[in-house]
């Protein structure tokens, strides 16, 4: 197998290219990057995507890409796409593909998740057809050329009545383009499709995924696309009414709206992920890996959103601000927890304060000072909690029989919500 040489072209944007995300568009078997003309035009008028860098890449022997005489796989095509992206500046990118282009996009998302920011598969699948059916198509093209496919493609590609309404438009032009596709390259593409099956990988995809289908598509049906989306964690499927296999050509405005929305959401989630990562680093630095690992192990579907919230807002947005040192933030936190009577949280932050460089004497002084304003009962409970944490660190029982009753922690009240450790 060989990695074919592909070529692509940039659609000009309205903002500095280096500052904008990249969207890679891949066409279907038998078409060229012109398949995306209508969608690109719509994306350019949408404020969410008007400055987007858009790189369209042709398949082997299609459009601007040179013909291929050696066999290749979908994985080889994915590597060839990466080579073009790297030549254009590299980095991570969003990717959308139609049919064969969609399988290449899926391969990239599965094999190179660090490079793919989001995935759009239009009228495609984790497996399309059978190896036997694609071998028959390859043999037919080698015998009679791509011109022999025009009639059948017209029926598969477009919804009933579209070509009549589109007389001389992009649908007709795409059929004309099919005749110019290199026969051997087309045959090699069908053989690559025959050997492709990423169904088992769908459940492990980590990139935001959108599946678009056409209402009248008999090749990759809406039901099949829904199944694909269901198998991808967080996957979404939308079927476009009045469209068939080339839905992005037949309904460019609707397709562009879905893509713009998907990319916008993916960018927001990516930004949130960066903040979450920064917050998690601060959280581990302050509270320690053991505590954070226990907290993460206890996350449930019901508490996941809250844990994400405190990681991003408490630890990334507040604890990471440079206006106060970590020690100063520990002092403020201890005082606040004493005032609120949150002994469970206080115990955790006594340890955190030690990790932040506060001595035991200074921690005790903070609690003594806070007693003047928070009240003696609150300070009493806080001092007991502090004593027990110090004793635990020293490996002894902090609540031994000789301890004064006044400084023993109050009995645990199961109805006190503030005893739950949210750190």
Domain boundaries, the chain: 8-270, 322-419
pLDDT digits (tens, 9 = 90+) for 162-194: 999 888 899 999 999 999 999 999 999 999 999
Grouping H, G, I as helix, E, B as strand and the rest as coil, residue 185 is helix
Among 244, 249, 247, CA closest to 218: 244
pLDDT exceeds 50 at position 413: no
Architecture of domain 8-270: 3-Layer(aba) Sandwich (3.40)
Q: Judge whether residue 411 has pLDDT over 80.
A: no
Average pLDDT over residues 395-423: 42
Q: Which of 4-13, 189-198, 225-234 has the lowest mean pLDDT?
A: 4-13
Give the C-alpha separation, 334 to 347, whole Å. 9
Residues labelled catalytic? 99, 217, 245
Is pLDDT above 60 for 221? yes
d(CA 77, CA 100) in angstroms, rounded, equals: 10
| Percentage with pLDDT > 90 across the chain | 69
Q: Which residue has the higher pLDDT, 322 or 406?
A: 322
Q: Cα(68)–Cα(76) distance, rounded to whole angstroms?
A: 12
pLDDT value of residue 275 = 84
If pLDDT is split at 50, 70 and 90, which confidence band does 423 have?
Answer: low
Q: How far apart are CA 154 and CA 244, in angstroms?
A: 10
DSSP conformation class of 405: G
pLDDT value at residue 409: 40
- H/E segment holding residue 348: helix 343-355
Distance (Å, whole) CA 137 – CA 87: 33
Mean local confidence (pLDDT), 138-146: 96
Q: How far apart are CA 74 and CA 30, in angstroms?
A: 16
- pLDDT(418) > 70: no
**What pLDDT does residue 11 have?**
65
- Assess contact for 173 and 158: CB atoms under 8 A: no
What pLDDT does 343 receive? 86
What is the token pair recorded at 125?
A: 């699948």
16: region left, alpha or beta (phi > 0 left; psi from -120 to 50 alpha): beta
Is the pLDDT at 396 greater than 90? The verdict is: no
Give me the pLDDT at residue 90, please.
Answer: 83
Cβ(55)–Cβ(81) below 8 Å: no
Q: Is the pTM of this model over 0.75?
A: no
CB of 291 within 8 A of CB of 348? Answer: yes
Per-residue pLDDT, averaged over 40-61, amounts to 92
pLDDT one-digit tens code per residue, 264-309: 888 787 777 778 888 899 999 998 898 889 888 888 888 888 988 8
pLDDT at 19: 60
Q: How would you write 1-65 as a 3-class SS string?
A: CCCCCCCEEEECCCCCHHHCCEEEEECCCCCCHHHHHHHHHHHHHCCCCCCCEEEEECCCCCCCC
At the top level of CATH, which class does the domain 322-419 belong to? Answer: mainly alpha
410-417: average pLDDT: 38
18 band by pLDDT with thresholds 50, 70 and 90: low
Q: Is 390 helix (H, G, I), strand (E, B) or coil?
A: helix
């Amino acid at each position: 197998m060989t990695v074919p040489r592909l070529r692509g072209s940039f659609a000009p944007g309205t903002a500095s290219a280096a500052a904008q995300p990249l969207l890679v568009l891949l066409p279907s078997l038998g078409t060229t990057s012109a398949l995306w003309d209508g969608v690109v035009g719509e994306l350019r008028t949408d404020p969410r995507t008007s400055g987007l860098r858009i790189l369209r890449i042709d398949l082997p022997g299609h459009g601007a890409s040179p013909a291929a005489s050696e066999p290749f796989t979908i994985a080889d095509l994915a590597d060839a796409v990466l080579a073009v992206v790297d030549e254009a500046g590299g980095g991570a990118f969003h990717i959308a593909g139609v049919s064969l282009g969609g399988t290449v996009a899926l391969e990239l998302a599965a094999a190179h998740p660090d490079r793919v920011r989001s995935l759009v598969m239009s009228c495609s699948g984790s497996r399309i057809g059978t190896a036997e059916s694609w071998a028959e198509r390859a043999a037919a093209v080698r015998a009679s050329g791509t011109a022999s496919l025009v009639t059948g493609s017209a029926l598969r590609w477009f919804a009933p009545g579209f070509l009549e309404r589109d007389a001389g438009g992009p649908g007709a032009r795409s059929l004309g383009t099919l005749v110019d596709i290199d026969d051997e390259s087309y045959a090699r593409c069908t053989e690559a499709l025959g050997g492709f099956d990423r169904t088992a990988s769908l459940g492990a995809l980590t990139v935001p995924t959108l599946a678009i289908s056409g209402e009248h598509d008999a090749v990759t049906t809406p039901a099949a696309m829904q199944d694909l989306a269901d198998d991808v964690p967080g996957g979404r499927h939308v079927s476009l009414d009045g469209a068939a296999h080339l839905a992005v050509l037949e309904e460019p405005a609707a397709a562009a709206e879905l893509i713009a929305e998907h990319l916008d959401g993916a960018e927001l989630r990516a930004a949130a992920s960066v903040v979450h990562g920064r917050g998690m680093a601060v959280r581990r630095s302050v509270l320690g890996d053991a505590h954070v690992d226990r907290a993460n192990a206890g996350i449930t579907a019901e508490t996941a959103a809250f844990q994400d919230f405190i990681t991003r807002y408490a630890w990334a947005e507040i604890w990471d601000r440079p206006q106060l040192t970590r020690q100063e933030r520990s002092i403020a936190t201890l005082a606040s927890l004493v005032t609120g009577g949150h002994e469970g949280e206080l115990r955790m932050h006594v340890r955190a304060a030690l990790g932040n460089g506060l001595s035991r004497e200074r921690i005790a002084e903070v609690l003594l000072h806070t007693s003047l304003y928070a009240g003696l009962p609150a300070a009493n409970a806080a001092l007991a909690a502090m004593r027990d944490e110090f004793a635990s660190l020293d490996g002894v029982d902090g609540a031994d029989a000789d301890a004064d009753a006044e400084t023993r922690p109050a009995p645990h009240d199961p109805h006190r919500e503030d005893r739950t450790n949210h750190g």
